[in-house]
Amino acid sequence: MKRYAVLLCGSVLAWSSAQGAEIHYDYAQLDVIIGAELENGDEFDYDGVGLEVSAHFVPSVFGFAEANSRRLELDDFDAAFSTFSVGAGVRHGFVLGAAGQALDVFGTLSLENYQLMSSTRGWGVGGGLRWVPMPEVEIAVGLRYVDYGSLDEPAPELDGDVDGIRYSLRGLVHLTRNSALLVDLRFGDLEIENGDSMDLKEREVRLGYRWYY
């Protein structure tokens, strides 16, 4: 009888752990950029905010939208640049080990908007991993190729096609079943091509709050 009781308790604990490690795609998230640098030969510090929303349609398909507003403080004026993405993704989940750790692999397609004095539209394709080693913690990595199309700027050096890679590393700590705090490291390696090429490198550290609905 004791052996059966131990087996039953072990099964219940494993089931509870697997349930607690579930990965959710229904959330709204607000980020504050607390440290950032834009490099294009010179280096500029900037700040900003970001908003992200995700919703699960069916077990393997989700939609998302993300808006980011950034502000550069230059010597003689302030400059703003922003991005907006909306798209859909597919995901496939795995359960790792007896502890029931959750791991999701996902891919996305998106429409992209980039604004730097003028606005341009393009597309993006990406993918990544979301891993929940324990119910209170999530680690996520993502990578996305973006082609923003062509900017038409007053400054000749900013005219041209804009594309590149964006990637991120996130760590989340769940406070309750419906809320989490996160640290988000984001990087953007973009290129403006207009005969010559100019690199734009973005480096950001963000703090955020996520609410699951």
Please state the φ and ψ torsions of residue 14, each to the nearest 5 degrees. -65, -40
State the alpha helices, DSSP H only, in the chain: 2-20
Read off φ and ψ for residue 129, nearest 5 degrees.
-130, 145
Summarised one tens digit per residue, pLDDT across range 71-128 is 887 666 677 889 999 999 999 999 998 778 999 999 999 999 988 777 789 999 999 9
Q: If you ran DSSP here, which 8-state letter would residue 23 be given?
A: -
Rounded Cα distance between 26 and 53, Å, is 8
User: Check: CATH 2.40.128.100 for 2-212?
Assistant: yes
SS3 187: strand
**Percent of the chain having pLDDT more than 70?**
84
Which residues pair with residue 199 across a beta bridge?
Answer: 191
